[in-house]
Amino acid sequence: MKPIAIDMAYKSLNHYGEELCGDKVEIVDKEDSRILILADGMGSGIRANILATLTSKIIATMMYNDMSIDEVVATIAKTLPLSSVNGVAYSTFSIIQVYYTGEIYVVEYDNPECILVRQGKVKALPFSYRKIEGKKIRECRFQTLPGDALAIMSDGCLYCGTGDIMNYRWDWNALAGCCESSAAKTRTAAQLAEQMNRACADLYGGVCSDDTTIAVARITEEQIVNILTGPPLEKKDDARMVQDFMKQEGIKIVSGGITSQIVARELGRRLITSVGVLDPEIPPTAKIEGIDLVTEGVLTLNKTIELLERYQQDDVSEEFFDELSRDNGATRLACYLMENCTTVNLFIGKAINKDYTTKELPFEISVRQNVIKRLQAVLAAMHRSVHVYYY
C-alpha cells in the first residue's frame, strides 16, 4: 500500500443564544497515527462546553500516551459520573484513530453512529459491543482504502429535522445520504464537514435547538506537489535547478515571472500568458508545456498563504469556499496544496528581485524568503511533509 495522507477537520453550530459550543473536537497527531475526537457535553452553553472539553482532553491525553480505551472510559466514568436526576451521561464521545499503516479504529459512546463512505457509497461498519464501567461502547477495526471518508457527529445533527422545517424524515440514514452526496462533490475534510453542517443549519432554519457538530476524516494516497520559485543565485545553476525540479514525480508549479522565463528557456518551450477573464486582485497565470501551473511570484504566493491560513481556522465559512472557487493563480495553487497534496518539494532560487527589495539585502531577510518561511509554517500546520532545496 502506498503511503497515505489523513485529512481531518470539523464544523460546529452553537445552540441558539449560546456563545460557547457544548461540543468539543480535538485532533491529536502521533508518530504512527492521527486521532479525531468529538465529545458532546450534556445540555448547552458553558456547562456543556466544560464537560465536553474535559472529556475530549482526557481522551486526547490518554490516547496520545498509548492508554487503552478501557483505561480512557474508566477515567471518564470516574471524572464525569451520570446525572443524579435522569441517569444520563454528562458527556458522550466518538473517536476515530487512523494509523499510517492504513488501519482504522473507531470507538463510540452514546453518539450517533460513525458514517463511512467508501467508493462513493455508505458502508456499514463492523461494530462490536461491550460494556466498560457500565457504559455500552461500540468499536471496530478495519483496513482503510484510499478515498475513504468518515464522519462522526453530535446528536444535534439528527435533531435538526424537528426544527422549523419539521422534516421528520431526517434521521441517521438521511444524514448518511447527505454525507455520501457531499463526499462526491468535495475533496477535503473541511469542505465535507462544511456541506454536511450547512444541511443541518438549513433544517434548523438558522435557529439551532442543540449544539451541532460534524467531524470528518478523509484518507488519500500520498500526492506530491513541486513548487519552483525564484532564479538561482548564480546563473550557471539555471539548468541544474530546472533539471532537479523536472525529474520529480507529481504536480509541477512554477511561481514567478523571471522563474517562468528560465524554465521555458531551459526546456526549450514557449511561455504563453493566459488570456480571458482576469482577476483584478491577482496577476494572470501563464502556460508552459509540461508544467501544471505557472503563476506570478510574491503577490500570488502571499494570497495563497492567506487562503491556506484561513483554511486552518477552526470555523471555515461557506464564503471561504466561494472565494476558493474563483479562477486565479492563488486559488488554483491553494487548491493544489489543500486537495492534491501530502508532500511538498520547494525549489527556491536565492537571487534577489530588485523590484521587491534592496539589491544588497541578503536572501535570508528578503521578501521571498519571508514568504517561503510563512508557506513552510502553514504547510506544516496542515500536516504536509515539506522539503526545501536552495539554489
Pair 14, 211: CB distance under 8 Å: yes
Residue 359 reports pLDDT greater than 60: no
The structure's pTM equals 0.83
| Chain mean pLDDT for the chain | 90
Residue 282's CB: how many other CB atoms inside 10 A? 21
Q: Residues 292, 264: one domain?
A: yes
Q: Residues 382, 363: one domain?
A: yes
Domain range holding 364? Answer: 224-390
Q: Residues 203, 228: one domain?
A: no
Q: Which of 221, 244, 266 is the last residue of a domain?
A: 221
Q: Residues 86, 116: one domain?
A: yes
Please report, for the domain that includes residue 382, its CATH number: 3.40.50
Q: Residues 51, 195: one domain?
A: yes
pLDDT digits (tens, 9 = 90+) for 181-217: 999 999 889 889 999 999 999 999 888 889 999 999 9
Q: Residues 121, 244: one domain?
A: no
Q: Which of 186, 221, 256 is the last residue of a domain?
A: 221
Question: Which of 22-36, 227-241, 328-342 has the lowest average pLDDT?
Answer: 328-342
Q: Which of 188, 221, 254 is the last residue of a domain?
A: 221
Q: Residues 283, 385: one domain?
A: yes
> What's the total number of domains in the chain?
2
Per DSSP, what are the bridge partners of residue 223? none
Q: Residues 268, 351: one domain?
A: yes
Q: Residues 167, 46: one domain?
A: yes
| Arithmetic mean of pLDDT, 79-99 | 79
pLDDT digits (tens, 9 = 90+) for 242-287: 999 999 999 999 999 999 999 999 999 999 988 666 788 899 999 9
| Arithmetic mean of pLDDT, 99-122 | 97
**Predicted local distance difference test score (pLDDT) of residue 109:** 95
Q: Residues 49, 75: one domain?
A: yes
Please report, for the domain that includes residue 17, its CATH number: 3.60.40.10
The residue among 166, 155, 175, 153 whose CA lies nearest residue 204 is: 166
Q: Residues 10, 136: one domain?
A: yes
Query: Which set of grid coordinates corresponds to residue 131?
Result: 460494556
Q: Residues 214, 262: one domain?
A: no
% of the chain at pLDDT higher than 90? 70
User: Residue type for 298, please?
Assistant: V
| Arithmetic mean of pLDDT, 112-132 | 97
**Predicted local distance difference test score (pLDDT) of residue 88:** 62
Residue 356 reports pLDDT greater than 50: no
Query: Which set of grid coordinates corresponds to residue 278?
Result: 482576469
**Predicted local distance difference test score (pLDDT) of residue 86:** 64
E strands, 257-310, are: 272-273, 286-287, 293-295
The residue among 99, 87, 89, 98 whose CA lies nearest residue 39 is: 89
The residue among 175, 165, 152 whose CA lies nearest residue 209 is: 165
Residue 365 reports pLDDT greater than 50: no
pLDDT digits (tens, 9 = 90+) for 303-355: 999 999 998 875 677 788 888 888 899 999 999 998 878 899 999 999 876 55
E strands, the chain, are: 4-13, 23-29, 33-41, 91-99, 103-109, 115-118, 121-123, 128-132, 135-143, 149-153, 212-221, 224-229, 251-255, 272-273, 286-287, 293-295, 343-348, 385-390
